[in-house]
Structure 1
Amino acid sequence: MPLSLDLNQILLIAIIGLLFLIVIFLIVNNAKINKQEKLIDNRLNKYLIDINSNTNSSLNTLSNNLFNYLQANSDLQIERIDNSSKIVTENLKSLSSYLVESQKQNNEHQINKLEAINKTLAQNALIEEQKLDNLRRTIETNLTNIRQDSNRQLEQMRKTVDEKLQETLDTKLTQSFKTVSEQLENVYKGLGEMKNLATGVGDLKRVLTNVKTKGILGEIQLSAIIKDILNNSQYEENVNTNPNSRDKVEFAIKLPSTDESYIYLPVDSKFPSQDYLAIQNALENGDKEEVERARKQLASTLKTQARTIRDKYIYVPETTDFAIMFLPTEGLYSEACNLNMLEILQREYKVTITGPSTFAALLNSLQMGFKTLAIQKRSSEVWNLLGSVKTEFVKFEKVLTNAQQNIQKTSDDLDTLVGTRTRAINRHLKNIQTNTIPLSEFDQIENKEVD
């Protein structure tokens, strides 16, 4: 189409140029005619000048001749113009026919080109479709091969994994059964040990819950401390220090005086275990009100026992004007100190409370005093000695606190051992009887035993 438009434009320009040439040709011819006419006019004027003198008849003749001449020349020019117009018209018709024919040929040529292009495109599309079909078939074939190869490899991997899993499972099961057997044997051994321990704990509990037995336990501990530090000549057992009372104090330490005589220092053990256990239970339960109530009860019990010691065993001048109350456990002594019983009992009842550590320190101080100083008969000097000993008690506070924590931890371990661990072992043994215990439970039991 762009080629045909260019050709039409060229043809149109050619036609315009041809018309322009025709117009120029006509103008040139008219110029020639005008020139000839001017030439004739000049000649006529010359003739007129020359023959002015001639007669009118000659002028008329000449005029007629001139008119005829001019008419003849006009007809010739008109005929020439007509011929030129006919030639131009024929040329235009020929040119128009040529242009129409050329346009027709160009259209046919363009149509033929378009048909050839369409045919080529159809052939190319068919070829591309065939190529795509071949490519699709090739891809499908390759995918099928890849899928088959993958399935074959997966099947081989599955077989390998199954074999490895079966082998590993057999090994693990064998090891697990072996471990289970060993752990069951350890459990049976531990069960026997737990039974023995439970029996011992039960015996210990019976001892601790029996009031008389607890009193005997305090006396035994007090006796062991005194006999370990003092000589037999420095103390007496079960002494009646007060003539007004029939009760005998458990131990009386002999304090020498200046006249080779001695006075007694009454020492009596007390063990208000019920009040102390009530405090411990309240602390474990986190009941603050119960803790306060139990501590008040312990303070009241200690005051009552201190009053009893004062009334029964202190008799000046046969004894010192104070006595010692021995508490057989560091925890109980610590609770008494926390309740400020050390100062209250000393101030109100002239009774000094001690624990195992502080009583041993007191006896050591007295023993050193026996060797370096003769104790005066007056008990005030003894009190001064005890005052100096009291200052030493502060040094034992940290030791007493650590001892209390250790005792508390031991009590917690016993509770755990008797309660939680016993129930756990019984539960595991029950599972063993029903064959429902999982393997992980044995690891937990073993870890607990290691702990």
Structure 2
Amino acid sequence: MNTHLLLVLILLCAVAACVLLVVLLLRRPGTGSEALERVLREEQRDGRGELRQQLEGAAASQAQRIDAFGAQLQAVAARTDQRLDELTTRIDARLDSFTRTTDERLGVLRSALTEDARKARTEGAEQQRHAAEALGRRLDDLTQRNEQRIGEMRTTLDQQLQRLQADNAAKLEQMRATVDEKLQTTLNARLDASFKIVSERLEQVQRGLGEMQQLATGVGDLKRVLTNVKDRGGWGEVQLENILEQTLTIEQYARSVRVKPDSAEAVDFAIRLPGRSDDSTVVWLPVDAKFPREDYERLIDAQEKGDADAVRTSAAQLERAIRVQAKSICDKYVCPPHTTDFAVMFLPTEGLYAEVIRRPGLADLLQREHRVVLAGPTTVTALLNSLQMGFRTLAIEKRSSEVWQVLGAVKTEFGKFATVLEKATSQLGTVQNSIKAAGVRTRAIERQLRGVESLPGPDAQALLGDALDDVAGDESDETA
């Protein structure tokens, strides 16, 4: 450390000398740069020589110190090895002495433990013998007392079982009578329900057969319509008939009706409306199906081709055909008071109905001049639904007295049903109280027998004998 400081100081002194020399040279007048450079080089060379000498001296001094430190380390290592050998020898001697002492003490302890164990076994055997003798005497006393108590409890149990058996027999007989009565009532109710279900199913089968017959008739009518090309109104009549069948009952309309007394013309369909005077008077609503197919098809073709002149011509022809048909319906079928003061012209397609309604003022003209109302498939369905609601309202008004009579009968029967329910509730309460009383007695017997040990099955059978046989016989009779 001192060597390094010395070297640093020497370097600082050399640097300071160089700086001082440079300053002096700069102050000297008339000196050139070459002289300054030469002086600096000489000073630098001298400084390097001095520095080299000082470094060599410092290195030699450092080497001497390192050699001295190595010699000291070798001496310390030798002394340490010697001390470790001495310490190992002492520890081995002490371990041998401790081992011998431990073996001697363990031998003495083993002998003492062996003697104590022998004494403990002898004393334990003696205590167990005395305890076994005392336990045997206690068991004998306990057995005698238990036999005496079991005899007393057997006598008490026999008496209680006899009383319980008598009570249970009476209550079971009462319950059997109640159950028989309820079973008979339930059986009758279920038989009535079964017969009702069978009757309803038979009615459904009968209605299904009727629907199948109607379907067969409709298929035949459709076949005749499709095979008869010359019948222009056939398709409209079939469609109108299907709508009437789905909306009204068979008694509310008729087919091919001569609504005028002095005429042989028959309208396609007529709906029965009740008269104002009495129930026997019938007013007919004529409904006739018309289908000007050629005029409608020409109009559709012209619209598809985009021919405006042809469209106007075809529309005028269609309107003229509709007017002719409306006048024919009015002349043939509108005859108050046998019919309503208007008739219905049914157009079988929505397209035809929409095309006719589009004609300005045509629908109003038909209603005003010919008293004919136009109707398509959707419109006629709405009209029939409104008529059906009117029929239902009228039927309810006519049969209101019968409804009140039925309600009175239902009220009477409901009163009887309430009386029957009260009787059944009373009987159920009696049965429930009997069962609760039996449960209370059973729990009381269980509390008394809680401290008694249960016997195996054969022993219990041998002790109770006939009592269990009687109980089993009663249970089998109740199950049967």
Q: TM-score, normalised by structure 1?
A: 0.36
Which protein has the larger Cα radius of gyration, Structure 1 or Structure 2? Answer: 1
Higher RCO, Cα 8 Å, sep 6+? 1
